[in-house]
Amino acid sequence: METIFAILIITVVLLIFINIGKKIRKNNSWKKPIKPFSASWRKTLFENVIFYNNLDPDKKQQFESKVHEFIINCKITGVETEVDEKDRVLIAASAVIPIFAFPKWHYYNLKEVILYPREFNRDFDTEGTKRSIAGMVGTGYMEGKMILSKQALHHGFKNETDKKNTAIHEFVHLIDKADGSIDGIPALLLEKQYALPWIDLIQKKIEEIYDGKSDINPYGATDSTEFFAVISEYFFERPKLLKQKHPKLYSLLEMIFDQKMAKKLKKPKSREINRNDPCPCGSNKKYKKCCGKN
Ligand SMILES: [Zn+2]
Ligand SMILES: [Zn+2]
pLDDT at residue 51 greater than cutoff 50? yes
Ligand nearest the Cα atom of residue 135:
1
**pLDDT at position 265:** 77
**Percent of the residues in the chain that have a pLDDT greater than 70, as a whole number:** 91
pLDDT band at 293 (very low <50, low <70, confident <90, very high): confident
pLDDT at residue 16, rounded to an integer:
62
DSSP state of 196: H
DSSP 3-state assignment of 137? strand
- pLDDT tens-digit map of 134-152: 888 887 788 899 999 999 9
Query: Above 80 in pLDDT, residue 19?
Result: no
Which domains, ranges and CATH numbers included, belong to the chain?
36-270 (3.40.390.10)
Model pLDDT, residue 249? 96
Between CA 219 and CA 97 the distance in angstroms is 22
Taking the model in full, what pTM does it have? Answer: 0.86
Please state which of the ranges 199-208, 242-251, 264-273 shows the lowest mean pLDDT.
264-273
Ligand nearest to the CA of residue 60, numbered in listed order: 2
Lowest mean pLDDT among 29-43, 118-132, 262-276: 118-132
Q: How far is the CA of 286 from the centre of ligand 2 (A)?
A: 8
The predicted model gives 63-90 an average pLDDT of 96
Helix or strand holding residue 208 (H, E): helix 192-210
Which pLDDT does position 161 carry in this prediction?
86
Q: What is the mean pLDDT of residues 245-260?
A: 96
pLDDT digits over 100-133, tens only? Answer: 999 999 998 899 999 999 887 877 777 766 667 8
Please, what is the average pLDDT of the chain?
Answer: 89
> Going along the chain, which residue ranges are E strands?
75-78, 112-116, 135-137, 145-149
Three-class DSSP category at 96: helix
Could you tell me which of 133, 87, 134, 142 has the C-alpha nearest to residue 111? 142
Q: Would you say residue 5 has pLDDT above 90?
A: no
Assess contact for 113 and 91: CB atoms under 8 A.
yes
pLDDT at 21 over 60: no
Ligand 2 centre distance from Cα of residue 189 (Å): 34
- Give distance in angstroms: CA of 116 to centre of ligand 2: 33
Predicted confidence at residue 22, as pLDDT, reads 53
Tell me what pLDDT residue 24 has.
47
CA 101 / ligand 2 centre spacing (Å): 24
Tell me what percent of the residues of the chain surpass a pLDDT of 90.
Answer: 63
Distance 237 CA to ligand 2 centre (A): 26
Q: Is the predicted pLDDT of residue 278 greater than 50, yes or no?
A: yes
Distance 160 CA to ligand 2 centre (A): 25
- Does residue 26 carry a pLDDT above 70? no
